[in-house]
Structure formats: structure tokens, C-alpha cells
Structure 1
């Protein structure tokens, strides 16, 4: 859509749909209405706005591409750090209906206000070419990145969604879990910038492999051994530092694999692979907890294994082009 119609029309349309989804969700009386509004409308609209914009900075930079991408996507981490406690305050003061309405109106207003600052270097395609360029899958590197993104998202959000309930099961209040989510978002935002900066020195593909693998190992080493708040904080910090690489470096590596000229369409297709993990990952993890009688061991294995397998797929790309280990790539 960005290639055909331009960046701003797609972002405006998406943000109006997502904001309207939140506002309409405040009037929902049944579960299916929540699926339609807060689920489909918000998700579809936010995807149009967010995933089309993450590749903008990559188009404008070469030497500092990793840092530029990290700064760009750090915004969502900062938003998560602020919105988690803010939403809890709004819900406690004015109820969840008005909290949803305020968030929906704020989303539309803020994004439309900064839209004037957003511009793409590559102009939209005026005619010709497929809407979905599936020919990109002929590129083995692109296909492996698609599969990597699908695998990683099965585990990526699992700790964040389950951590509040996990802390309650350890005997702590829901506020502790919400605070840990805020800590994760804040650490994640900083790590996106730092990992982008380091990637410019040591290579974005190298850093994406390492950060993705370490995020999975953090689940095994730290989440698996968490029995109280101190270790939970350690896990959230370590996981947040490494998980930030997936957001900041994924579009940078895509630019290297597929080329900047096809980046808008490439990123759209790549992020479509996240659909499966984002939709099914957390429900599967929750089902594993239920099937295990409330124990989290196998859920943690599930969350940790997904990114490790994703990192293994990236190794195929890495060693196909360069077999030497200590080479920037």
C-alpha cells in the first residue's frame, strides 16, 4: 500500500482505524464486539501505521543505519513504559471505558500532529508491479528472515503478557507485575538505541543473532529460576536489553538482504509473518500453564526456545555469505 499510495495516507488511515477501534471498544457489551474493535480494528490499524513507518529511517541512512533505526523504534518502548502505569491510574480513577476513549483520541491526535515530520526517500510506485511481491521469497535470505520473525514472535511477547499473573502467583500484587512491564519497556527502549549503535560497529546481522539468542537464554537462566522480586527484576532487565534487538535491527538486516529500493514492500511482507506468533504465541503459552497445573516451567521453555531457533535461522544467512566469525556483517 505504501508503494502504491504513499506513506502518509497509509499511516493516517491506519491510525484513524486503530484509534476508532479503541474508542468503539469502550462501548462493547459482548466479547465478539471486543474482538472486532480492540482486536481486529486496533490491530489492523496499528499495523498499517507502525510497520510501515519502522523502515523510514533505514532509507535515509547508510553508515549510521543501525543507530537511526534504534532511535526510531525506541519510541514504542518509551510509550510502553509510560502507558502501563498511566492506564492503570486511568482505569482506577475513571474506569476502563473512559480510559479506552482517552487513549483512542490521544493516539489519533498525537500521530496526526507529528505526521508532517514523516517523509520517505523512495517515492511510491505509480503503476505496475504486484501488490504482494511474493517473488521476494525466491531470495533465500528473505525467506529465512520471514521464518525467523514468525518463530521469534511465538515467544517474544509471552514473558510480558504472563509476567503480571506470574508475579501474582508468587504472592505479589498486580501493581508489581504492571511495574515490571514498565521496566521492561523502558529498558527495551534504551537497548534498541544501544544495540543499533553497536550494530553500526560490529554488523547488524551479527548483533541480531546474538541479541535474539540471548533473549531466549534469559528465559532459561533467569525466568526459570525466579522465585521473588529481585530475580524477576534481573530477568526483566536482561530480557529487555536483548529483546530490543528484534525491533531495532530487523528492518536494518532486511535492508541489507533485500535492498533499500524494495524495503517498504519487503518489511510489509516480513512483518506479516509475525501474524502467526503474535496471534497464537501467548494463548499457547497460557494453555501450557493451564495444562501444567499452574506451573510455568514448560511455558518458559516454549518462550525461550522460539527466539533461539530464530537466531539459528539467521546463522544460515550469516554463514552463507561469510564463514569467518569475526567479520562485520
Structure 2
């Protein structure tokens, strides 16, 4: 768990400048990646009736899309490490637009699984992961704030897409709406064009000094030659590795903090997306009209939109940032409590209240989700880390909403689905809090041991130098 103020990138991130334009591009790219699958739930009831399918079958559309987005993480990581973020995001925008165009001609639910779910999901993967990675290359001190602002794109775009989708459906039907949505998704190509690579400013190395300082110059030349030799050895070693090992850092599976994060996230993702996916259908099930049901998503998105930058600001404070993993654990647990309370809130007013408290919890988790991973593994290993995390998380992301839909089909009531999602969120929240408590203690102990070893080594070096100095003095007198 590297300190907040250090970096292993080999250069000084600008922490501003063009980085804010990159944050805006990431805002759009991340926004479409997360908001698009949720906004499509507006069409679920009508598509369900059109193809005569069950709740669990229609839930697979969003599930396959989200799972493909997560499963495409390692592929996206390899492409970003090889080509950079800009071209990958632009290709992703074209893929999502093409997927929605093909889906508008769908003749079966399987057609939607393939087009919207598989092709569209991989396109969103090429939008999400590069946008997250490039922020870590531009920001160091202000990174939590930059991540919080970029992650705000999801609720902003969701709050726009939710009522827009209802309007498009009323005007053009679901087929015409999918065709228009495909053209809207091409804006991700514009976002990608903003993600130019960072100009790396490396601190200058000390020069050889003025004439007459031959000893210092020789020492500097020796150090430079040594660095060049180490670089050549590293290049030679990297050539002997497989392609996957060069682009994906599998040594992360030996990283204690990474494993804690991974275990907690695998469980929480079973209950993370389903409550949002089923929010509008739940409202319609209670006899609420379509526009009022869509308004719940807008309320949720507005609260989410507000809390994400606030969370980023809080995460950047001196009080929170050193122990930001506790903040994330609290956010996950809070989500679980919200889901458990949902069935107890009566009527439309209760659903509005749930949308507000859910927006707060969902926004906190989303704003911190990747910042805490970067805090654990460092910005230089983040691209590989997020690729490994997303491919493993695609399982619960894929299965979560269909399992929830199956509970609705089995009991004819949504409350059991919300209870299950509450448990799936509350349990990992407690797990993360406890494990990170021990992890912080272990890190403090390792740091004390490291300082002790350094002091002992320093003392031995001083004693050795004094011994050599005494021998030289005796020889001179002799």
C-alpha cells in the first residue's frame, strides 16, 4: 500500500494542465461505460413483452453487457500498454455504436445478447479501462479528486439518458431508439481524442561538474554506465518473457492488499448492480407509471452525481487519504444497509427515499472503487491490476442480476431480491474493514522493521568506514 504522496512512474505527473482535459474525456468515456447498461432497463418491460421472456431472461441483456465489459479488461490492458489509451477508447466507441445499430434489427432475445451484450460490452471495456489508467499518469497529489470527477460521468450521463430513453421509446419504439443510441455512443470517439499521452518530465541528472572535479565526473560516468547496463539487462530479460507476462503483471496475486481487495469485490459485485437494474421495473410492478419510474433513476443519478466529487474531495484530505481503505469499507457496508431497508419503505415516497440513499452509497463506492486499488498497488501497476480484477469480477457481474431476476420469478416479489443484495454488500464491507485493519497493522510493522534494518546497515557502514580510515592512518604513520 504505497503512500499517497509517492510515485513509481519514473517522472513527475503534472497534476493539472492538459490533465483536466483528460479528466473530461474520461468523464465521458467512464460515464457511457457505467450508465449505458443501467439506462437500457427503461426498455426491459417492453422488450420482455415483445419477445415473451421472463424477468431473469431479460436481465441477461444488462448482465452480459456488464460481464463483457469486465471480461474485456485484460484485453484492454494489453492494448493500452501497447498502444496507449487514445486509440483504444476510439475503437471502443465505434464498437458500441455498431452494436446498437445491429441490435435495432434484432429478431430474438439471443440477438440482443450477442449485439448489445457481447459486442457492446467489449466496446465499453475499451472505453472504461483506458480512461481509468490515463488519470494515474497525469495525477499524483490530486489523484483522488481527479478520479472522483471522472467517475461523476456515470450519474451525469445516466440522469440524461434515463428520461431521454423514455422519450425515444415513446417517439420511435425500442428499435428506433437503439439506432439513435448507437449514434450517441460515437461521442466516446471524441472523448478518446482528448487522451493524448502525458509529456513525461524526468528530473535532470546532476552534471559532471566544473573542470578539475575529475573524481566526481568519473563517478557520474560509472553510475550512468551502470544504469545503461541494468536497462539492457532488463530489456533482455523482458524479451524472454511471454507476451502475457510482459503486459499483465501476474505477480499481483502475491500482493496482500490486492488479494484482500479482490476477495471483497468478488462478493460485493453479486449485489452491486442488480438493485439499480431493477429499480424502474420494481416501481412499475407497484403500479407506478413509466415516467415516474424513470424519474427514480434520474433522482438516483442526481444524488450519485453530487456525491462522487464530494467523495473524491474527502478522499484527498489529509485525514482520510492515509486510511482510505476504511472509507471504502464503510461505503460498501452502507450500500448493504440501504438494500435491506428498501422493502420496508412504503409507496412511491419510499422509493424516492431509497433512490436518494442508494445514490449516496452507490456514488461513494463508485468514486472509490478504482482509487483504492491504485492506492494498494501503485499507479505503475494499476493497468495490470484493473485488468486482472475485471476479468475475475465478470462472473459475479454476469450472474448477479439474473440471480436477482430468478428470485423475483420464484417469489413474485422484489423484496427477497433486495434482501439478498443487502447481504452481498454488507458481508464484504465488514470483511474489508477487518482485513484492512490487520493489513495496516502489518504494513506498519514491516515499515518499522525496514527502518531498523536501514539504521543497522547504516551503523555497520559507518563502523566499516571508520575502521578503514584507522587502517589508512596507521599505514601513513608507519
- TM-score normalised by the chain length of structure 2: 0.63
Check if 1:295 corresponds to 2:372: no
Find the aligned partners of 1:120 and 1:260 in 2 and give their Cα distance.
15
Match of 1:206 among 310, 326, 333: 326
Gaps of 5+ in 1: 325-329
| Aligned twin of 1:217 | 337
- Deviation beyond 6 Å, 4+ runs, structure 1: none
1:280 offset after TM fit, Å?
Answer: 0.8
Find the aligned partners of 1:68 and 1:206 in 2 and give their Cα distance.
20
Question: Does the 8 Å contact 1:164/1:178 carry over to 2?
Answer: yes
Question: Does the 8 Å contact 2:145/2:313 carry over to 1?
Answer: yes
| Aligned twin of 2:347 | 228
Check if 1:38 corresponds to 2:157: no
Matched residue of 2:316: which SS?
A: helix
1:118 offset after TM fit, Å?
Answer: 1.3
Matches within 5 A, 1:130-279: 130-201=246-317, 202-203=320-321, 204-221=324-341, 223-279=342-398
Alpha-carbon distance change, 247 to 121 in structure 1, aligned in 2, over 3 angstroms: farther
Match of 1:89 among 146, 155, 167: 167
1:122 offset after TM fit, Å?
Answer: 9.3
Matches within 5 A, 1:20-59: 20-59=98-137
Question: Does the 8 Å contact 1:147/1:273 carry over to 2?
Answer: no
Matched residue of 1:165: which SS?
A: helix
| Farther-moved stretch of structure 1 (227-236 vs 57-66) | 57-66
Question: Does the 8 Å contact 2:145/2:312 carry over to 1?
Answer: yes
| Aligned twin of 1:116 | 193
Find the aligned partners of 1:180 and 1:214 in 2 and give their Cα distance.
20
1:224 offset after TM fit, Å?
Answer: 2.3
Find the aligned partners of 2:146 and 2:406 in 1 and give their Cα distance.
39
Check if 1:4 corresponds to 2:82: yes
Matched residue of 2:196: which SS?
A: coil
Check if 1:105 corresponds to 2:183: yes
Find the aligned partners of 1:116 and 1:227 in 2 and give their Cα distance.
47
Matched residue of 2:376: which SS?
A: helix
What CA deviation, in whole Å up to 9, does each residue of 1:238-294 have, x standing for no partner? 1111111222112111111111111111112222233122211111011112222x1
Matched residue of 2:370: which SS?
A: helix
Matches within 5 A, 1:44-83: 44-83=122-161
Find the aligned partners of 2:191 and 2:109 in 1 and give their Cα distance.
34
| Aligned twin of 2:438 | 320
Question: Does the 8 Å contact 2:90/2:190 carry over to 1?
Answer: no
Match of 1:304 among 422, 432, 453: 422
What CA deviation, in whole Å up to 9, does each residue of 1:83-112 have, x standing for no partner? 01101101111222221111111211x122
Question: Does the 8 Å contact 1:145/1:313 carry over to 2?
Answer: no
Alpha-carbon distance change, 69 to 117 in structure 1, aligned in 2, over 3 angstroms: same
**Two-structure CA RMSD over aligned residues (Å):** 2.1
Find the aligned partners of 1:244 and 1:274 in 2 and give their Cα distance.
19
1:317 offset after TM fit, Å?
Answer: 4.4
Equivalences, count: 319
Alpha-carbon distance change, 122 to 224 in structure 1, aligned in 2, over 3 angstroms: farther
Find the aligned partners of 1:210 and 1:114 in 2 and give their Cα distance.
33
Question: Does the 8 Å contact 2:332/2:429 carry over to 1?
Answer: yes
Matched residue of 1:63: which SS?
A: coil
Find the aligned partners of 1:19 and 1:247 in 2 and give their Cα distance.
25
Q: Which has the larger radius of gyration?
A: 2
Find the aligned partners of 1:170 and 1:113 in 2 and give their Cα distance.
41
- TM-score normalised by the chain length of structure 1: 0.90
